[in-house]
Every structure is written in C-alpha cells, then in structure tokens.
C-alpha cells in the first residue's frame, strides 16, 4: 500500500484558522482519500501522527453511528417532526450510547476480575491440598519481603 500526505496550514474559516491534511492511499489500483482538519499546525514531523488520530476518530464516529442506526437504537425512525425535538432526541441517543459503552466496559472488567479471583482461589486451594510446608518453607516466607498489588 502506498500513501501520500498533502497538507495546508492557516486556512481561514469563520474567524478560525484551520489546518488540513489529506491522505491518499493506493492499494491494488484502488485509491481512497481521507481529509482531516486540525487546530494543530501540520509539519512533516507530525503529519503521520495527526492523520493516524484522524483515522481513529473517524473509525470511532463511524462505528458509533452504525451502532445507533443498526443495533437497536432505531436512529432512522422519525420520533419528531420538530427540528429541536429531533436534535434533543439525537442528543439523548448519544448520551444513552455513552452510558451503555461505560456499562459494557465495566461489566467486562468485572467478569475478568471474577474469573481471576476464582482461578487464584482454586490454585491456592490446590496448593493447600497438595503441598506440605516444611520448616525451611516457613523460614523462607518469614525472611522474604513481598508486596501484593491489585490494579484495575
């Protein structure tokens, strides 16, 4: 895959100064163009990072819109004919999706923690069942300084 970056700085738009980078990707005789705007001045030293962040942001926004449209949020359904009502409904959709993402992420971490605690408990139980502690083991444990840290 071949890519070309073209950028322009200091574009005046409604009393703002914008910077733009265009990414052209060519793969198997197919060309794709991506354009990203930034308030950060674009130079050869940061253009790759700026377009990488632009692609990530585009992916997040596109996936979010796809979820809202196709995964139960029924974004295409017209809940109001009033423009303000439509804007308010979309804002509530955004908030509800954010809450759902936070919930899903937390549940995933809790499930992982629960399985880790179960595994640790079963390993400890097996150690108590199968290992006979000797006097040397006890001396070693008493002389060894250890730290146990739990991170989230």
36, 45 in Cβ contact below 8 A? no
- Above 70 in pLDDT, residue 55? yes
- For 12, other C-beta atoms within 10 Å of its C-beta total 8
pLDDT digits (tens, 9 = 90+) for 66-92: 877 777 666 766 777 888 888 888 888
pTM above 0.85, yes or no: no
pLDDT digits (tens, 9 = 90+) for 108-124: 887 777 777 778 778 77
Domain ranges across the chain: 2-68, 78-144
């Amino acid at each position: 895959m071949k890519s070309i970056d073209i950028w322009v700085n200091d574009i005046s738009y409604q009393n703002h100064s914008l910077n733009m980078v265009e990414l052209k990707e060519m793969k198997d005789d197919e060309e794709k163009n991506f354009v990203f705007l930034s308030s950060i001045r674009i130079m050869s030293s940061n253009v790759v990072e700026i377009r990488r962040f632009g692609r990530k942001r585009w992916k997040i926004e596109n996936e979010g819109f796809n979820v809202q449209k196709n995964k139960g949020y029924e974004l295409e359904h017209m809940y109001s004919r009033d423009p303000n009502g439509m804007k308010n409904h979309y804002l509530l959709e955004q908030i509800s999706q954010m809450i759902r993402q936070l919930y899903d992420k937390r549940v995933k971490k809790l499930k992982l923690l629960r399985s880790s605690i179960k595994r640790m408990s079963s390993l400890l139980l097996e150690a108590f069942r199968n290992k006979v502690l000797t006097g040397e083991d006890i001396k070693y444990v008493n002389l060894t300084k250890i730290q146990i840290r739990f991170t989230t």
